[in-house]
Each structure stands twice: as C-alpha cells, then as structure tokens.
Structure 1
C-alpha cells in the first residue's frame, strides 16, 4: 500500500469509529424518524439527490474547472450525509433524531440512488463516473450501516458499557478525521496549490451557499428540521466521495481528487459556521 492508501484508510477508519459512537447512543426511534415522515423524506431526497447534482453539473459546465474540482463537486453532490454532522446539528440547535435518522436513511437509499445517478450523469454530463453497484453498496455498508448497527446492538444489550464508550469513540473519530485530512492535503500539496488558482475556492463557497439555501428552504416550517437539512445538503460524506472519484481517476488525478474533496470538506466547515451561529441565535430567541 502507498502512503496515500494509508491516509485514505485512516480517513475511512475515523468515519467508521464516529458512526459506531453515534450508534452507541442511537435508538430505533431515531433511525425511523425520517421514514415516519414521508413528506420530510421526499423533501430531503429532493434537496440532496436532485437539486444539488443539477447545481454541481451546472457549475462544472459553466466554468472551466480542472477534472479534480469537477469530480469533487459532482461526486460530493451524490454522496450521503457525513457521520460527523450530528454534533454540528446539536451546536446549531437542530433536531438530533432527524439528524441521525437522515444519516441512516440516506446511507441506505444511497446504495440504489448513487448507481442510478451515475447513469444519469453519463447521459447529461460529458464526464463518466462508473463504479459497480455492489462496490458502492459495500463502501456504504462498511462505512455507515454496519458500524451504526454494531453500536445500536451494544446500546441494546450492554447499555452501561455503551454509555461509557460512546463519547470516547466519537472524539477519537473527530480527531482522526482532521489528521487524515491534513495528511491528504500535505501529500498532494502541489496538486492542491494548482487547484487554488483557478476559482476553485469561489466555486466551493458558491456550491455550499446554494446547498444551505436549498436545504433551509426545503426543511419545512420546523426550524430544527430546517437547520438539519441545510447542513446535510451542504456537507457530504468524504470517504464515499473519494472512493467514487478515485475509481474513475487516472495518473496525476489520483492525488488531485482526494485533495479537492478534502479542500471542500474544510471550506464547507468554515463556510457553514455563520449559518450555524445564526440558527443557534434564532433558536435562543
């Protein structure tokens, strides 16, 4: 394995540990939250898997980006909710059950949605993103479904141990993610430097702003649900996005694509801070 492979493995491990930590605190009521609200489920799907892929393709066609930037925006737009968001939802006053339920629901549905959307991209976009459906299902199942299920089973049968382990597991995942992210950026610093000079940052900020607006608008009348959908639409699963993008990258793109996706992750975290603070102040009032 190369150094890049080890770094990506560390990134995936951080996500798995984090999902397991949330599973240690999750209940079946949390998991079923979205399924019990079909209107909210449809609006969530519309925001994340219909509108944002259209926005990503429109930006890619409107501007002459490098392949790495185009690939990052497109694959992120079809990736599910990242497992780190529930803590950000809490800080902004979002509804915890919806945040956790949305993460689980979108992970499960992504096994069918992502292969379908990649076929649609072949029809309406001049770049091909191909990956076997079983490979996508394996990534999502390993990174999201399995660790969450393991955590929930621990919470069900050994609740005392689960309560003690949950916070350390989540913190461990939160520390591993930025370390892996920095390592990816350092390993591809030359490629990243080339990306910064052609409007990449502006494109990412515009994409995040549109995503926040779309999620906020479609979140419905409940401000706690609106906040969750806004952040979930803007922030996507980096591990799954990197897996899809690198499966279709060649040559120097193999380093550029993960760097572009991690750059998106960092910029999206910073760009959504004003929205999080705004929502927190609104809920306090």
Structure 2
C-alpha cells in the first residue's frame, strides 16, 4: 500500500498535466464512487444477513440513533449556517454533509469496540431511510442554506442502490457462498480500494486547492464545529453501552461519504465536492484519534 500510493499519485497527476483539471475531476469522481462501493462490498463480505436486523430488534437504540443522525446533526448544521457569516460554497457543503447520515466505511475499523453488528445494521438501515430523508431534508433546508439543489427521489434511489445497497448485498452474498475465503479476499481488495480512495481524494484536493486556500476562518470553524457537535450528539444518544456511544459518535461525525458525493455532485462547480472530501478526510483522522482515546 505504501508503494502503490506514490505510483498512483504520479499517474493521476500526469493525467492532470496533459488533460486538464476538468478531465481529472470527472475521473476522480468516478473513482471515488467506485472505491466507496467496493469498500462497502468488502464490509458486506464480513457480515451476515442476520446482522441486518440487529438494531431493528432494539427500537429505543434505533430511534436514538436515527434521531442523532437524521435530526439533530442536520439541525446543528442549520443553526451554524444561520448564526455564522460563511460563504455560499461552505453552506452548500454543510447542506450535503447535514443530509448525509451514516458512515459506511467504519464497521471494520470499529471492531475493537465489539459493536460491528450495531454499526452494520445501522449502516443498512440508514441507507434505506436516506431514500426518503435526503430529498426531504434537501428540499426543506436548501432555501435556508441559500443554495439551490433539487434531488428527485428517483435520483437518490438509483445512486444509493448502485453505490450502497447493491455492494452490501453482493458482499453478503459472496460471504454466504464462500464463507471461508470471502473475508480473507475482502481484506486484500479493501487495501486496494483504500489506495484508490486516498489517491482520488488527494488528487481532487490538490487540483482544486484554491477552494481550500480561499476559505474564510468562519467557514473552517463552521465545518469543525459541525464535526465536534456530531461527536457529542452521538456520544450522548448512544445508549447505556459505552462502545455503542462511541460507535454512534464516530458514525455521526464521519457522515455518509457515498450520499454526500451524490448530493455534492448536484451543485454547479466543484467547490462543494472539494469541501465534502476535505471534511471526510479530516473526520477520518479525527475519528481515528477519538477512537484511540475512547479505547484507553
């Protein structure tokens, strides 16, 4: 993985020099969605069909989790946009992050918490809820966020099915057919997918670095405040089990990169996409540190 990352970066930057930023952006967006889909399939390959209903059998935990992810975090984002003088690009990114609940790339990273069943079941459930919640929240909040975006239910259903639900089912199906080798192969494929995801994200941020350099301190503060508030909300509403609280806190803060990419792609220009990817990379690092602290 260490060797593959520099090689992949050289290739992508060569494309940028010869083809231009627009071509690279299109390629990167495709690779990001592909990498996310593969990673989700690998997560599915490490779980069974029985784990899907784990959180359904615990209605109080399900209600608190969905309330934290789909109600309280969006309301915090809404409040930050109202009280802070931030640029429209940051507002668009805040909207995309606010409506994108769930953290599909985390179940394997949270194994140390022994909450894999909870996180995976919540991932699957939140993906189903997103089919309705994302268009509704986007329609309700877009005017207040001073941005224009229209997401039809058909678009959301299609994108979520392709990038989330279908990969999950494929991974779970492979595990059912090849119970011994599926998990081992998934771990190897996951390493490659992480390289693709990292290279794509770094390339996007490098090619469009002007959208990061030009950020106001209020915009940076708003994104950081959203992340911190999401961690706090998840930690409070995660229930009596401390491991579940930590898992929900990280899930709330990480957001659902697959859904966020779908929403960000609806905006004109790449500013929203760049900020969403920058947030995701930062949240990934912060969540890793937060998980390490909680395990001590």
TM-score (norm 1): 0.91
* Partner residue in 1 for 2:74: 53
For the 8 Å contact 1:94–1:228, the answer to whether it is kept is no
* Partner residue in 1 for 2:243: 224
Q: Secondary structure of the residue that 2:119 maps to in structure 1? A: helix
Once the 2 structures are TM-superposed, how far is the Cα of residue 193 of structure 1 from its aligned partner?
Answer: 1.1
* Partner residue in 2 for 1:148: 168
What residue ranges of structure 1 are gaps of 5+ in the alignment? none
Cα distance in 2, alignment partners of residues 213 and 256 from structure 1:
28
Cα distance in 2, alignment partners of residues 173 and 30 from structure 1:
24
* Partner residue in 2 for 1:118: 138
C-alpha distance 166-273 of structure 1, shift in aligned 2 (>3 A): closer
- Structural mapping, 1:180-199, within 5 Å: 180-195=200-215, 197-199=216-218
What is the alpha-carbon root mean square deviation over aligned residues? Answer: 1.7
Cα distance in 1, alignment partners of residues 97 and 154 from structure 2:
19
Cα distance in 2, alignment partners of residues 264 and 123 from structure 1:
23
* Partner residue in 1 for 2:285: 270
- Structural mapping, 1:68-217, within 5 Å: 68-91=89-112, 93-122=113-142, 124-195=144-215, 197-217=216-236
Once the 2 structures are TM-superposed, how far is the Cα of residue 125 of structure 1 from its aligned partner?
Answer: 4.6
* Partner residue in 1 for 2:46: 25
Q: Secondary structure of the residue that 1:81 maps to in structure 2? A: coil
Cα distance in 2, alignment partners of residues 239 and 224 from structure 1:
25
Once the 2 structures are TM-superposed, how far is the Cα of residue 151 of structure 1 from its aligned partner?
Answer: 1.0
Q: Secondary structure of the residue that 1:80 maps to in structure 2? A: coil
For the 8 Å contact 1:76–1:236, the answer to whether it is kept is yes
* Partner residue in 2 for 1:233: 252
For the 8 Å contact 1:129–1:245, the answer to whether it is kept is no
Provide, for residues 219-265 of structure 1, a one-character-per-residue CA deviation record: whole Å limited to 9, x for no partner. 01001111111011101122321221231x22xxx121111111111
Once the 2 structures are TM-superposed, how far is the Cα of residue 94 of structure 1 from its aligned partner?
Answer: 4.7
Q: Secondary structure of the residue that 1:64 maps to in structure 2? A: coil
Number of residue pairs matched? 275
Cα distance in 2, alignment partners of residues 25 and 239 from structure 1:
19
Once the 2 structures are TM-superposed, how far is the Cα of residue 124 of structure 1 from its aligned partner?
Answer: 5.0
Once the 2 structures are TM-superposed, how far is the Cα of residue 185 of structure 1 from its aligned partner?
Answer: 0.3
Cα distance in 1, alignment partners of residues 252 and 54 from structure 2:
18
What residue ranges of structure 2 are gaps of 5+ in the alignment? 1-21
* Partner residue in 2 for 1:280: 295
Provide, for residues 67-88 of structure 1, a one-character-per-residue CA deviation record: whole Å limited to 9, x for no partner. 2211111211111323211133
TM-score (norm 2): 0.87
For the 8 Å contact 2:95–2:142, the answer to whether it is kept is no
